[in-house]
Amino acid sequence: MDKKQIDVSVIIPYYNANHCIERALSSINEQSFLPKEVIIVDDCSDEACSLKFIEEKKSLYSFEIKLLYHKNNLGASAARNTGIREARCLYVAFLDADDCWIEEKLEIQLKRIGEYDLLYSHYSESKSQINQGKINQELIGHKEVSYFDILKKNLSPVTLLAKRESLIFFDERFRRCDDFKMSIEALANGLKVGFLDFDVSYGFKKAIGESGLTKSLVKMSISYLKACAYLIIEYPKLIFTMPLFILFEVFKFPIRCLKVYFIN
């Protein structure tokens, strides 16, 4: 039986991820509702990690694959923006090359995005942490997100399904925390942001302290504080909101260091 294909563009930023990109594509190919197109943006990978092998395997997948290339390494934010500009579908979803989705990710979110411009969900560090039983979709709750909610929980772009016309571009000045800044900007611009109380995405490494852009805790924290400062400058109405984020980060940083270097 053929799977239902939905009007969704999936955007994957790619950099030297030849060891895991097929795993990510397989998780898209196994979706209960298939996207129309997947856009992979190569952010100037090394020649040895070229996407040529994906070009040769396009026919193995049940959706169109578009491969785009940056001439210079610009960061994941720029790669996502390149994908947004190329996207042609009504909805846009994001997946990182080293992450995966549960099989019902797009189906679950598509059925609930109607009242929202952007819909996020939970992200898990591994598939083993996700409930593997049969999903009763009627019991999955969702709520509108406030600034306080973003203060409490991370809104990961790999869990996001958004209406393309509502998407705000990621700030390319940031190689870290661009996703955090974008979610705050969405609220500041009056967009309705929702959160689905269910794990739809998972990874294969710890969010902090291992490989990837979050390896440097100090750089991550500085980027976060810098994003808060930029938000105050660009959105003066956040003058009383963002200091709470700054204070919270100052409090969390030493705890995060202890957790990574001593508890783990």
Cα–Cα distance for residue pair 214/108, rounded to 1 Å: 29
Report the pLDDT averaged over residues 17-22: 94
Q: Count Cα neighbours of 42 within 13 Å in the Cβ-side half-sphere.
A: 22
The stretches of 96-137 forming alpha helices (DSSP H) are 105-110
Q: What is the pTM of this model?
A: 0.91
Q: What's the farthest any 2 CA atoms get from each other in the chain?
A: 54
CATH 3.40.50.1970 fits domain 4-204: no
Number of Cβ atoms within 10 Å of the Cβ of 134: 5
Query: Average pLDDT in the 13-18 region?
Result: 95
Percent of the chain with pLDDT over 90: 74
- What is the rounded distance in angstroms from the CA atom of residue 15 to the CA atom of residue 104? 27
Domain with CATH 3.90.550.10 in the chain: 4-204
CB atoms under 10 Å from CB of 230, counted, come to 18
pLDDT at 110 over 90: yes
Q: How far apart, in whole angstroms, are the C-alpha atoms of residue 25 and residue 57?
A: 11
Q: Quick check: 212 pLDDT over 50?
A: no
